[in-house]
Structure 1
Amino acid sequence: MIFTVTFNPSLDYVVGLDSFREGEVNRSEWEHIYPGGKGINVSMVLKNLDIRNIALGFVGGFTGKEIQRSVKEFGCYTDFVKLKAGNSRINVKIKADKESEINGQGPDISEKELGELFEKLGFIEKGDMLVLAGSIPAALPEDSYEKIMKFLENRGVKIVVDATGELLLKVVKYKPFLIKPNKKELSEIFGVMVENREDIISYAKRLQEIGAKNVLVSMAGEGAILIDENNHIHEMQAPKGVVKNSVGAGDSMVAGFIAGYLLNHDFEEAFRMGVATGSASAFSETLATREEVLKLLDKIEKNER
């Protein structure tokens, strides 16, 4: 079974308009409300790819009820911890001549409620996969990911971490199965300017030396690079298309990689599926569907060495 964890889920209120005028009344041309959060995005794309999974995390208040309802309605299994106080956050995403976002803070989470999440994680078994995605809210200890990975250490659970900066760097010592930094995040982690493929490969290998088994580096329209645990370097150009939505593309790449890997544990196949799925979400107004992914798979150029 695959489990995803989203510490700080949201309702994403997406508003479209021709242009955004600061300091004036703006009227939307269209609007949508979706459940959001990186782990939830992974769960929903996995569902689109016919991969059964369970979404874990915290939900609170009327917004939390709507998050759980809409994720279930989408067809995903959920087992969220229901918070006694506060409301899950609302994120506003403005799509105009430029994309802008206002992300809420989210509710407080007590130590007891964090303990409830660990109780649920305690049922994860050998051979299962866990996806830890997104930032840790201020209400929780900064080392929450580390505690989860230590809690599951030596249980034979494959853990995927999609996080940034120090948060990612601190968990690498627990040997996650997969991490997915982008080029900018590699620069931030090592305090350097990562500019070309040689730099990406060099610093991705450093993350492997610290402990990560497989390092998948996304480069937006430039494609991606994977260094797998067998020290093979895979490179792929992104398929051509019109980018309509950057939100969720990275999460979709993670979901696609997992779906591809589960077919026969082949890293090349997982990589191709990851690039296709991330691109399919970028080319769509919503998250990638199976049909959209399959259409892109044959268009991807690959280069392994």
Structure 2
Amino acid sequence: MKSFDIVTLTVNPSVDKSTHFSGLIAEQKIRCKDPQFDAGGGGINVSKAISRLRGNSLAVFTAGGPVGEMLKDLVTEEKIDFEVIETKTATRENFIAVDDHTNSQYRFGFSGDVLEDSEVEGILETISNLKPKFLVASGSLNEGLSDDFYQKIAEIAKTSNSKLVVDTSGEALKKVLETGAYLIKPNVGELAKLIGVERLEMEEVDDAAKKIIANGGAEIVVVSLGPQGAVLVTKDSCDFVPAPNVAKKSTVGAGDSMVGGMVWALSQNKNLKEVIRWGVACGSAATMNEGTQLFKFEDANRLFEWLKNR
């Protein structure tokens, strides 16, 4: 089998359906425009972002039922290599709708069905056999999947000498820190929970991230600051990058685009200053497109050039 420097894992993928309507009125039928269908889920979106940057990755994900077949077709259309763990339960769908009267975006997400033990083992076995340079575990976990699942992935990554990048939240992320990852990407609220405080002021973010690094939770902590940008922290450095001012149409996939930009830059041996700027550029560029389309290469490249000296 062809080897890949980057492997992404999506345990709980989705087919994302997006549309537009005019006016939200309770108890009345809402007429929607023709839907756009996109392959969704954290790791798949990361692979899509890497592909837009002319990079290559292997997307590993679960799929089941008619929606799962649609998901595979959509990933194929993206020209992304993939490996599927087939499931007896159907792949979930998510729904995103924009009210053209207000430009408000409504996002409806569904939980993934319970995976059978054999399917969970199939995921772990597949990841164990791949041994990539960079392994990205991103997105939510299915109902019934234990909080230590990504920790098991972290243990596999450590055994395989893969650099693990994790983008998740809650107890699943806390468990990963017990084993350790190469890079994690919490937002400020998630970072606060990781160190056991109710909230963090902006001037406290650097020290909070360094506390995680000092405890062996990660080598690099990238803290997403939303419209303000992001900060990349290592044990001996801190680099804040402001988000460029762009016309936002959708925030769906912006975080995944950011991760994709950073992992692609790491795979190209870019320095950390460039890595965080590619991440912010891709994340910001993703907000310029509607629905779940992620970003255009031209937009990301232009924003990176703008950020290079900032």
With normalisation by structure 2, the TM-score equals 0.91
Task: Tell me what 1:110 maps to.
Answer: 116
CA contact (8 A) 1:236 1:301 kept: no
Equivalent residue number for residue 296 of structure 1: 303
Q: Output aligned runs, 1:1-305, within 5 Å.
A: 1-83=5-87, 85-96=88-99, 97=102, 98-125=104-131, 128-189=133-194, 190-196=196-202, 198-211=203-216, 212-229=218-235, 231-285=236-290, 286-300=293-307
Alpha-carbon distance in structure 1 between the residues aligned to 2:48 and 2:29: 34
Mapped partners of 2:137, 2:309: distance in 1 = 28
Range with greater deviation from structure 2 (22-31 or 273-282): 22-31
Alignment TM-score, normalising by the size of structure 1: 0.93
Q: What is the one-letter code of the residue matched to 1:206?
A: K
Residue deviations 1:88-129, cap 9 Å, x none? 00111122233222222223311111111122112223x621
Question: CA 1:240–1:292 in 2, change beyond 3 Å: closer, same or farther?
Answer: same
Give % identity. 30
Instruction: After superposition, give the CA deviation of every residue in 1:113-170 in whole Å (9 maximum; x if it has no partner).
Output: 1111122112223x62111111211132221111121233232100000011222121
Bigger mean CA offset, 215-224 vs 17-26: 17-26
The question of whether the paired residues in 1 share the 8 Å contact of 2:188 and 2:223 is answered with: yes
Aligned CA RMSD, in angstroms, stands at: 1.6
Report SS of the residue matched to 2:160.
Answer: coil
Quote the Cα distance in structure 1 between the aligned partners of 2:48 and 2:247.
22
**Structure 2 counterpart of 1:293, which letter?**
A
- Say which SS state the counterpart of residue 94 (structure 2) adopts: strand
Number of corresponding residues: 299
Note the C-alpha offset of 1:301. Answer: 6.6
Runs of 4+ off more than 3 Å: none
Q: Which runs of 5+ in 1 are unaligned?
A: none
- 3-state secondary structure, aligned to 1:187: helix
Displacement, 1:245? 0.9
Q: Residue 290 and residue 36 in structure 1: after superposition, are their counterparts in 2 closer, same or farther (change >3 A)?
A: same
Residue 27 of structure 1 aligns to a residue whose secondary structure is: coil
8 Å contact kept, 2:112–2:141: no
Q: Is the 8 A contact 2:105 2:250 kept in 1?
A: no
Asked whether the equivalents of residues 45 and 289 of structure 1 are also in contact (C-alpha less than 8 Å), the reply is: no
Does structure 1 conserve the Cα–Cα contact (< 8 Å) formed by 2:149 and 2:172? no
Query: Structure 1 residues 264 and 150 mapped into 2: Cα distance closer, same or farther (>3 Å)?
Result: closer
Q: Contact (CA 8 Å) 1:4, 1:130: kept in 2 or not?
A: yes
CA distance in 2, matches of 1:18, 1:206: 48
Distance 1:106 1:173 in 2: 26
After alignment, is 202-211 or 71-80 more displaced? 202-211
Does the residue aligned with 1:244 lie in a helix, a strand or coil? coil
Partners of 1:8 and 1:244 in 2: how far apart?
25
Q: Distance in 1 between matches of 2:172 and 2:204?
A: 21
What runs of 5+ residues in structure 2 fail to find an aligned partner?
none
2: distance between equivalents of 1:153 and 1:237? 33
| CA 1:194–1:23: 2 relative to 1, 3 Å | farther
Within 2, Cα distance between the matches of 1:302 and 1:161? 28
Give the letter aligned to residue 289 of structure 1: K
- Quote the offset at 1:50 in angstroms: 1.3
